[in-house]
A and B are shown apart, each in its own frame.
Chain A
């Protein structure tokens, strides 16, 4: 190889190494958190049986749970393999939505996203948009998940009750047909010593499934699976079924989580209307070319 090319090759390798190192230093990480990249070659202890308790963080880094362009397993990026199995109503509803990310994105001041302004994102959007550090608490009657994003929580009942399909089912404390909820109704059970599954229905159809404007109806049925392969990891899988909007169920997210120390304190991430209002006035409206009134 000519001498000049050798010099160039050496320089290129040096630039590449430097770039990789620079990128590594730029990798976002939450102070105090432990990620898989910190424990290469580890041999985790076996998982405890029927136990999800603890603080869980996306194992590949905090960015892994942030799904700006839509549900992590099916982002709205125009790729054929990420085309959702829309029904005609589903496609029509999707196209009527104006998200701020994805193939149908608009400037944030022009969106009809139901979440800005601190409105409830509901479930499953909390896990299909911004799955951040979360604490799981288990009691004999339920599994409670405390989410960092907008400081929200859910209760998954494990006391044997059924989903409130039956109008005479009194378990939920109300003999009438259940009113729809932003966060739905959830029940769960262990299918083996290391796998917990939950089902949720009864959703308010004003929310979106994700940040890219994927729709759902009042027929939405969400399935969650939490598989604990070892002490330090939890594999979360979210499957969406909504026969009004989609012709078949689809896996919306698969996320590997890592257990954090018992002392790990989840930060506050609250949506405050007073802050949102200022952001819109100072930034979002000028960004969209909207003049101040």
Chain B
């Protein structure tokens, strides 16, 4: 009985702690979240075509090839240059031809566009922009 009570108490602690860990940071971009499919994530490997370092938001375009060799052209946004610098990104983060692994929150429209959540660069370094649960982190 005592064990059960302890276990219940522990489970409550576990749930509360996990809840706290998921507490969101405020969103910040000035272009909104309504187009995105909240909570959905897609991970894909692609080849960088362009990294546009500009206002209002920087965006990355890349091609993803399927098994038959057909390429889908994706465009994913981040935030503005100052906010990306604050998170360790730069104009030189990507160059055309880079092979990257991109985690994206896609849009509801079904188009190959979305919000970049995280990217693994050719050198293995991971850069994050946002969490799918919380939106942009800056």
Q: Which residues of A are interface residues toward B (Cβ below 8 A)?
A: 1-2, 5, 8-9, 12, 15-16, 19, 26, 28-31, 62-63, 66, 68-69, 99-101, 105-109, 111, 116, 129-130, 132, 148, 211, 267, 269-272, 275-276, 278-279, 282-284, 286-289
Is the C-beta of B125 less than 8 angstroms from some C-beta in chain A?
no
**Docked-complex contact A28 and B137, CB < 8 angstroms:** yes
**Docked-complex contact B52 and A278, CB < 8 angstroms:** yes
With contact pairs A62-B83, A62-B86, A107-B35 given, residues A5 and B57 touching in the complex (Cβ less than 8 Å): no
- Expressed in whole angstroms, the minimum distance between the Cβ of B103 and any Cβ of chain A is 15
- Expressed in whole angstroms, the minimum distance between the Cβ of B136 and any Cβ of chain A is 8
Q: Using a CB-CB cutoff of 8 Å, which residues 34-91 of chain B contact chain A?
A: 34-36, 52, 54-57, 59, 61, 75, 77, 80-83, 85-87
Is the C-beta of B28 less than 8 angstroms from some C-beta in chain A?
yes
- Complex formed: what's the CA distance from A109 to B108 in Å? 14
**Docked-complex contact A68 and B30, CB < 8 angstroms:** yes
Nearest B residue to A107 via CB reads: B35
**Docked-complex contact A275 and B54, CB < 8 angstroms:** yes
If over half of A's interface residues share one DSSP class (helix, strand or loop), that class is named, otherwise mixed; here it is loop
Best-surrounded residue of B3, B108, B110, B138 (most CB of chain A within 10 A): B138
Is the C-beta of B93 less than 8 angstroms from some C-beta in chain A?
no
Going nearest first, the 4 A-B pairs with the smallest beta carbon separation are A100-B32, A289-B109, A107-B35, A28-B86
With contact pairs A29-B86, A283-B113 given, residues A2 and B28 touching in the complex (Cβ less than 8 Å): no
Nearest A residue to B25 via CB reads: A63
Q: List residues of chain B with CB within 8 A of the CB of A101.
A: 27, 30, 32-33
Q: List residues of chain A with CB within 8 A of the CB of B6.
A: 1-2, 5
Q: How many residues of B contact A (CB 8 A)?
A: 47
Q: List residues of chain B with CB within 8 A of the CB of A62.
A: 82-83, 86, 138
Q: List residues of chain B with CB within 8 A of the CB of A275.
A: 54-56
Q: List residues of chain A with CB within 8 A of the CB of B121.
A: none
Q: List residues of chain B with CB within 8 A of the CB of A2.
A: 3, 6-7
- Complex formed: what's the CA distance from A29 to B110 in Å? 34
- Complex formed: what's the CA distance from A279 to B55 in Å? 8
Q: List residues of chain A with CB within 8 A of the CB of B137.
A: 26, 28, 63
Q: Which residues of B are interface residues toward A (Cβ below 8 A)?
A: 3, 6-7, 10, 14, 17, 21, 25-36, 52, 54-57, 59, 61, 75, 77, 80-83, 85-87, 107-114, 128, 136-138
Residue in B10, B31, B109, B110 whose CB lies within 8 Å of A9: B10
Provide 17 A-B residue pairs closer than 8 Å at the C-beta atoms, listed in order of the A residue.
A12-B17, A19-B21, A28-B138, A30-B85, A62-B82, A66-B30, A66-B83, A69-B26, A100-B32, A105-B33, A108-B31, A269-B81, A279-B56, A282-B52, A287-B36, A287-B109, A287-B111
Q: List residues of chain A with CB within 8 A of the CB of B25.
A: 63
Q: List residues of chain A with CB within 8 A of the CB of B29.
A: 68
With contact pairs A26-B137, A66-B28, A288-B35 given, residues A283 and B57 touching in the complex (Cβ less than 8 Å): yes
Residue in A100, A269, A283 whose CB lies within 8 Å of B59: A283
- Complex formed: what's the CA distance from A68 to B31 in Å? 8
**Docked-complex contact A287 and B35, CB < 8 angstroms:** yes
**Docked-complex contact B82 and A267, CB < 8 angstroms:** yes
Best-surrounded residue of A16, A129, A130, A283 (most CB of chain B within 10 A): A283
Residue in B54, B111, B114 whose CB lies within 8 Å of A279: B54
Residue in B32, B34, B138 whose CB lies within 8 Å of A63: B138
- Expressed in whole angstroms, the minimum distance between the Cβ of B53 and any Cβ of chain A is 10
Q: List residues of chain A with CB within 8 A of the CB of B59.
A: 279, 282-283
Q: List residues of chain B with CB within 8 A of the CB of A282.
A: 52, 59, 61, 75
Best-surrounded residue of A2, A109, A284 (most CB of chain B within 10 A): A284
- Expressed in whole angstroms, the minimum distance between the Cβ of B112 and any Cβ of chain A is 8
Q: List residues of chain B with CB within 8 A of the CB of A68.
A: 26-30, 32, 136
